[in-house]
Amino acid sequence: MFNKSDITRNQCQLFGGQARLGYDWWWHSFTAQDAETGEDKPFFLEFFLCNPASGGDKPVLGQLPENQKAGRRPSYLMIKAGCWGKDAKQIHNFYGWNNITVDMGVPFSVNVGDCFMSEDKTWGSVSVSEEETKAHPEFMCDAGTISWNLTIDKKVAFNVGYGAGSLFRKLQLFEMFWHAEGMKTEFKGEIILDGRRYIVDPKKCYGYADKNWGKDFTSPWVWLSSNNITSKKTGEKLLDSVFDIGGGCPKVGPIALKRKLLSAYWYEGKCYEFNFSKFWTFVRTSFDCRETDEEIIWHVEQKTWTNRMVTDITCKKSDMLLVNYEAPNGKHLHRRLWNGGNGKGTVKLYHCGRLVDEVLCENVGCEYGEYC
């Protein structure tokens, strides 16, 4: 049973070795409607913490040439906000550790200036001018202004089990950890993008909330999730369904577990899980992710002793962006990490060889990239 809330996994994990070399981020994505036209627009918000042990009054940006020459690792809170679709963009503001407040307990919270994020609410604003983006490529972002004020109600969790359990977290065995406290999340409030107002309706936001932490990123990097799902069997929306797929090449210490994905499918109140850490279920995974001139295409097939899940998703590159992160060691290895929120496709679910349902998925959160 993967649908088990555990907000201890959402607390800040930057202690011990990960305080000196580590990151921790909380990711939220959702669809909002233009207040004037009603048109859908997908958005994302993220609070990204990096290397607190070397922090100070000012952020240390790892892509700054003088920091690279001196061997300084990045250290900051980065607030990333942006949108997909037409005019997709990512806007980054950076803050030194001495200027932020992080509640390391349960529930977590992160606060700096007028920006705040916790388990059940977030507000704030980020802004970068055209002149700043041209003068500071180390910001790794686009120009624009976004402000938001939202409540967060996490409905369905993907608790991955042992990999993010308390012992593994304390020992910091994995290079990259994952916990999706809200793979189905209802957001409510408003967001303003470059002066244009959007309404976030909990019943139409198709929201998602998870977190990742560790010492480095995976390559390949794969993520797919949606709760805007329609049954091809009945033609009806499935209001209590969501799927979530993530991973690529997890590492336990120096050992790489190549081409491994963690998947969960909450289908109308029933759990179907494909989790390689639960070895007794005998999970077998194959996936193919590729880039064409116009699209990113995902094909994922997973099996256990009794269940099978086949996922086929596409997303137009014109609706996506190349999302930017630098690793805690200061390297910017993921230079073609495609990230979107407008994916579409199908999921076929089988139990004991019988087709349970084939569903149409929209507003799919999606990601794919490999080190360049």
- What is the Cα–Cα distance from 19 to 73, expressed in whole angstroms? 12
CATH number of 7-369: 2.40.370.10
**Which backbone phi and psi does 273 adopt, to 5 degrees?**
-120, 145
Contact 312, 346 (CB under 8 A): yes
Contact 16, 79 (CB under 8 A): no
Place of tokens 């990230």: 339
What are the CA-CA distances from residue 200 to residues 51, 121, 126, 156, 328 (Å)?
33, 13, 18, 19, 33
* pLDDT tens track for 31-64: 999 999 999 999 999 999 999 999 999 999 999 9
- What is the Cα–Cα distance from 337 to 330, expressed in whole angstroms? 17
- What is the Cα–Cα distance from 160 to 285, expressed in whole angstroms? 16
pLDDT at residue 170, rounded to an integer:
58
Q: Which helix (H) or strand (E) holds 68?
A: helix 65-70
Query: 136 Cβ partners below 8 Å, 6+ apart?
Result: none
If we measure between CA atoms, which residue out of 215, 206, 183 comes closest to residue 53? Answer: 215
pLDDT at residue 312, rounded to an integer:
98
Say which amino acid occupies 242.
V
Averaged over successive runs of 10 residues, the pLDDT of the chain (372 residues) comes to 94 92 97 98 98 96 96 97 96 98 96 98 98 97 98 96 54 77 98 98 98 92 97 98 89 66 96 90 94 97 97 97 96 94 98 98 97 80
If we measure between CA atoms, which residue out of 266, 193, 247 comes closest to residue 36? Answer: 193
- What is the Cα–Cα distance from 116 to 122, expressed in whole angstroms? 5
pLDDT at residue 258, rounded to an integer:
73
Contact 189, 205 (CB under 8 A): no
Q: Which helix (H) or strand (E) holds 65?
A: helix 65-70
pLDDT at residue 165, rounded to an integer:
47
pLDDT at residue 166, rounded to an integer:
53
- What is the Cα–Cα distance from 305 to 280, expressed in whole angstroms? 9
Beta bridge partners of 303: 284, 308
Domain ranges of the chain: 7-369
